[in-house]
Amino acid sequence: MLKPEKRPLPIRIYNQLAGLIGVGNGLSFDKLLKKAQKNTGLSDLGADFSEIALKLLLTSINDEANLNPFGTLMIREKLISQLENRLWAEHWFKKYPEILDQEVLPIVVITGLQRTGTTKMQRILSGFPGARALLSWEALYPAPIGAESEISKRQRRTRRNERAVKWISPAFHSIHPIHTDQPEEDVLLLDLHFMSTSSEAIMHVPTYAKWLGNQDHTDTYMYEKKLLKLLQWQRTGKFWVLKSPHHLQYLDVFMKVFPGSTIIWMHRSIEESVPSFFSMLYYSRNMFVDEVDKNALKDQWLSKLEDMVREGLKFKQHAPDKIMDIAFADFMQSETDVLSRIVNQMAPGLDLEELIMVDDQENKYVSNHRYRLSDWNLTEEELRLRFGEYSRELEILNTSFNSNE
Element (H, E) at 152: helix 152-168
**Among 257, 218, 233, 230, CA closest to 107:** 257
Q: How far apart are CA 117 and CA 298, in angstroms?
A: 21
Sorted by sequence, the CB contacts under 8 Å of residue 66 that are 6+ apart come out as 204, 289, 290
Q: What is the secondary structure of 271-318 as a DSSP string?
A: HHHHHHHHHHHHHHHHTT-SS--HHHHHHHHHHHHHHHHHHHHHHHHH
Hey, where are the domains in the chain?
103-403
Q: What is the mean pLDDT of the chain?
A: 90
Instruction: Work out whether the CA dihedral 314, 317, 319, 323 comes out positive or negative.
Output: positive
- pLDDT for position 362: 41
CA atoms within 13 A on the CB side of 221: 20
- pLDDT for position 1: 67
CA atoms within 13 A on the CB side of 162: 17
- pLDDT for position 26: 85
Q: What is the pTM of this model?
A: 0.93
- pLDDT for position 355: 63
Sorted by sequence, the CB contacts under 8 Å of residue 57 that are 6+ apart come out as 194, 199, 205, 208
- pLDDT for position 47: 96
Percent of the chain beyond pLDDT 70? 91
107: helix, coil or strand? strand
- pLDDT for position 349: 62
Entry field: residues in the chain: 405
- pLDDT for position 348: 57
Sorted by sequence, the CB contacts under 8 Å of residue 384 that are 6+ apart come out as 270, 271, 391
Q: Which residues of the chain have pLDDT under 50?
A: 357-366
Q: Is residue 126 a contact partner of residue 251, using CB atoms and an 8 Å limit?
A: no
Q: Is residue 202 a contact partner of residue 285, using CB atoms and an 8 Å limit?
A: yes
- pLDDT for position 390: 93
> What does residue 325 show for φ and ψ, rounded to 5 degrees?
-90, 135
Please state which CATH number belongs to domain 103-403. Answer: 3.40.50.300
